[in-house]
A and B are shown apart, each in its own frame.
Chain A
């Protein structure tokens, strides 16, 4: 795609990429069926080396990046994570380790503390060993509980993240009780967003409307009775909304992801968008990527918008929603996110929700496909 030819129509220069997400590796000991990573990750190129990541950090910090997510895959699979954290701290980033906990022992957490890591977000898949281990297709529940204790011991704020979907959303009360028992300071109940593996498994993962409403009511009741400071976020699944989420605050506005092989993306799912040559940090500077590359400039402003977004007074608030969702559902990334009831494709969303209202999907013809290199290889188009 070409950038806009007429300079007068170009949007004003962007602010800094305040949020930098480094997906350090696609390696992961878990096999979660709701992972947002691309299903074809098996064909991803070699991972960046330590020096590349340190250069990415320095260049992004110069542009004004300040919140740093260290994610993956499982970032602990990188044995240079301590070096990356130390450099991030030296540069003034606020660093967030987003982890399954697998690979986090006392030696490593002590090293992260010394290196200046600011925060650890630990994922659980459910409140019971049986469901956690089924949903992640691993035996990790006991280990995660031990890691939670280590996080407290090392005086980190305890942030638990649980991705909700049809198979665990009825356990929200048990999940919150578990979080309370573990001493969580923040709990994110993040309903599944349908990208990557989650998109592939959407039929099996989509909860019914009744499930979502029940879970939200349970959460609200829990908030009233929890006896200590515990911030609970319940992220409503956008398929159940009438207006789209202001995804990434608009592409190219505040968010920059670098994938394990060095591809720079304006959101972690954007690699699916056709027509772009996403720049790689192996060849381009972060300044070029953020300020000049088509992949980052194309969806800035509103010149790319079609109706009904273009003339919509809400376009400055929601930016037309999610480009990836528009593409996945309608085949055109410039369409309105069909979550919006003003979208001519909104039926695609209401139909998916209606399908989720049927009594059981355990009998669905499609099996749940777990994230693994072997399954990924079979899903490469």
Chain B
């Protein structure tokens, strides 16, 4: 599987060049990297903090659906991970 073939079984992990943390002053998760910062919207932050290289995208989706009492997030999560891979924020293990 190439890194771009993203499925429910893929295990996304935050790239080691980035640090993800919650910033109370900005009321947002941010990605920190050498001399830079990306402020994340709330769904991006919630997905990324679950990208630990262990959980599959299916696990992450189920966990989010439970946490936010909703369903049908699968396509959104996959689309976000694809974008995050493209930006090199995360790498996908399989």
One of B6-14, B30-38, B50-58, B68-76 contacting the partner: B30-38
Complex CA–CA separation, A18 to B23 (angstroms): 10
CB pair A159–B34 under 8 Å, yes or no, is yes
Chain A, Cβ-Cβ closest to B32: A94
CB distance from B44 to the nearest CB of A (A): 17
CB pair A66–B35 under 8 Å, yes or no, is no
CB pair B26–A96 under 8 Å, yes or no, is no
CB pair B37–A63 under 8 Å, yes or no, is no
Complex CA–CA separation, A348 to B24 (angstroms): 45
Complex CA–CA separation, A94 to B32 (angstroms): 7
User: Chain A residues with Cβ under 8 A from B34's Cβ?
Assistant: 96, 118-119, 121, 157, 159, 186
Chain A, Cβ-Cβ closest to B31: A94
User: Chain A residues with Cβ under 8 A from B26's Cβ?
Assistant: 15-16, 64
Among B17, B23, B36, point to the contact of A185 (Cβ < 8 A): B17
Chain A, Cβ-Cβ closest to B88: A229
- Whether A66 touches B17, Cβ cut-off 8 Å, given contacts A16-B25, A119-B35, is no
Complex CA–CA separation, A67 to B35 (angstroms): 7
Q: A69 in the interface, Cβ–Cβ < 8 Å?
A: yes
For chain B, give the interface size range: 10 to 19
Among A67, A121, A185, A186, point to the contact of B32 (Cβ < 8 A): A67
A118-133 vs B, CB cutoff 8 Å, 1 = contact: the mask equals 1101000000000000
Q: B19 in the interface, Cβ–Cβ < 8 Å?
A: yes
CB pair A121–B35 under 8 Å, yes or no, is yes
CB pair A63–B25 under 8 Å, yes or no, is yes
Chain B, Cβ-Cβ closest to A67: B37
Complex CA–CA separation, A92 to B30 (angstroms): 12
CB pair B35–A96 under 8 Å, yes or no, is yes
CB pair A18–B35 under 8 Å, yes or no, is no
Interface centre among B25, B30, B36, B37 (most CB of A within 10 A): B25
CB pair A18–B37 under 8 Å, yes or no, is yes
CB distance from A223 to the nearest CB of B (A): 16
User: Chain B residues with Cβ under 8 A from A118's Cβ?
Assistant: 19, 32, 34
Complex CA–CA separation, A67 to B26 (angstroms): 13
User: Chain B residues with Cβ under 8 A from A63's Cβ?
Assistant: 25
Q: B42 in the interface, Cβ–Cβ < 8 Å?
A: no
User: Chain A residues with Cβ under 8 A from B3's Cβ?
Assistant: none
CB distance from B72 to the nearest CB of A (A): 34
CB distance from A301 to the nearest CB of B (A): 21
Contact sample, A vs B, 10 pairs, CB 8 Å cutoff? A16-B26, A64-B24, A64-B25, A64-B26, A92-B21, A94-B37, A118-B19, A119-B35, A157-B33, A159-B34
Extra pairs beyond A64-B24, A67-B35 (19, CB < 8 Å): A15-B26, A16-B26, A18-B37, A64-B23, A66-B23, A66-B25, A66-B37, A67-B36, A67-B37, A69-B35, A96-B35, A118-B19, A118-B34, A119-B34, A119-B35, A121-B34, A157-B33, A157-B34, A185-B17
